Structure 1
Amino acid sequence: MGEDSAKTGRRPRADSLRNRELLLVAARGVFSAGGPEASLEAVARKAGVGIATLYRHFPTREAIFQAVYRREIDQLVDLAVTLAADEPPLEALRLWLRASIGMVATKKGMLAALAPAADSSTELFAYSSDQLNRCVGNLMATAVARGEIRDDLDSEDVLRALIGMCYTREQPGWQDKVGRLLDVFVDGLRMRRNES
């Protein structure tokens, strides 16, 4: 919601909401690709709007970082609920961790392109850490209760492993390689017959 709409209590116009949505989707795509082309100008171009429209919705570089990152986290929270309802526990955990690779890619690209002030993102990072730990913890608890995975790791261990895989030496195709490593890691969580 734009600042003017928040102050006046008016609902934002449909075209304003559409532009904001276009900008968030474009920003995710541009930042997850990373590289020197990951700029605010590239985001505006990809969204099909002018740079002034971007700044009207996101007056600072930090504002777009926070909006995109919070949206990524909220989508992962929703995905965890959906997967828990629709998939077997181990597969739900695997699919959620694979989706998280995209979030890490977006975050890496944003940090490199936007260099947001670390202090102003502390609250957002604390929020994201809590949400991600809760999602992984819930997915793991279900898999442990069903005897599908071992119980000697916690959600923080699993997230650290994921982040470690994502922050190794970056090269083209790193997301696919991390996905393969992640499959090996998740298979290693399986409860073996002689462990039950």
Structure 2
Amino acid sequence: MTTTHGRPPASPARRADARLNRERLVAAAQEVFTEGGPEASLNEVARRAGVGPGTLYRHFPNRSALLAAVLRERIETLCELAGRLRAAHSADEALARWLCAFLDHARDSQGLGGALLVEELDGLGIDCHRLILDTAAGLLADAQRHGTARPALTADDLVHLIVGIALSTVRGPDAEQPGRLLALVLDAVHAAP
């Protein structure tokens, strides 16, 4: 049996346990950070994941690594949603539903993204902005070809509008305002030039 640094190689069951622990930690962190913000207790994350703090730190050596994993998971889930929406709805409806999900994501993730901007971070392993922009561009192109979206509208414009709504309403007293502003954007997407 070949050893690595004096230890026997990890068994497949051990690797599966490690992968499961990592997934449970990211899921628990999503809940804890949603409830308590990016400074929430990492011990609470470990407790909810059903592991000890040592296991958390073996997977994520610091808070910013865990924040990055949570943000990456959220962005990948958001972008995967586009395919399901395309399969189930018209081009216009898929775009509208995805923009609504993107607004929710931008509002929910604002604290996480801000915390990561302040920290030294090796990177998320993906270009989050590019992933979101490419997803928006694909949905918009579908709506421009098969729906009623304005031909001159760009995905970059849409992403900026949604981020602007998220930033300007995240702490506002009017819980209905983000939806109203999104409805105005959607009206403008489909308005005649």
Please report the TM-score for the alignment, with normalisation by the length of structure 1.
Answer: 0.77
Q: Paired residue for 2:83, among 81, 84, 105? A: 81
**Cα gap change, 1:151 to 1:177, in 2 (>3 Å):** same
Please report the TM-score for the alignment, with normalisation by the length of structure 2.
Answer: 0.78
Aligned to 2:187: 187
Stretches of structure 2 that go unaligned for 5 or more consecutive residues are none
**Residue 83 of structure 1 contacts residue 96 of structure 1 at CA under 8 Å; is this kept in 2?**
yes
Rounded to whole Å, the distance in 2 between the matches of 1:173 and 1:36 is 22
Stretches of structure 1 that go unaligned for 5 or more consecutive residues are none
Higher RCO, 1 or 2 (CA under 8 Å, sep at least 6)? 1
Matches within 5 A, 1:155-166: 155-166=155-166
Q: CA RMSD in A?
A: 3.0
Q: CA deviation at 1:92?
A: 0.7
Q: CA deviation at 1:115?
A: 6.4
Rounded to whole Å, the distance in 2 between the matches of 1:42 and 1:112 is 21
Matches within 5 A, 1:16-165: 16-35=18-37, 38-111=40-113, 117-118=119-120, 120-121=122-123, 124=126, 127-165=127-165
Which of 1 and 2 has greater Rg? 2
Q: CA deviation at 1:61?
A: 1.6
Aligned residue type for 2:95: L
| Sequence identity percentage | 35
Aligned length: 185
Aligned to 1:170: 170
More deviation in 114-123 or 25-34?
114-123
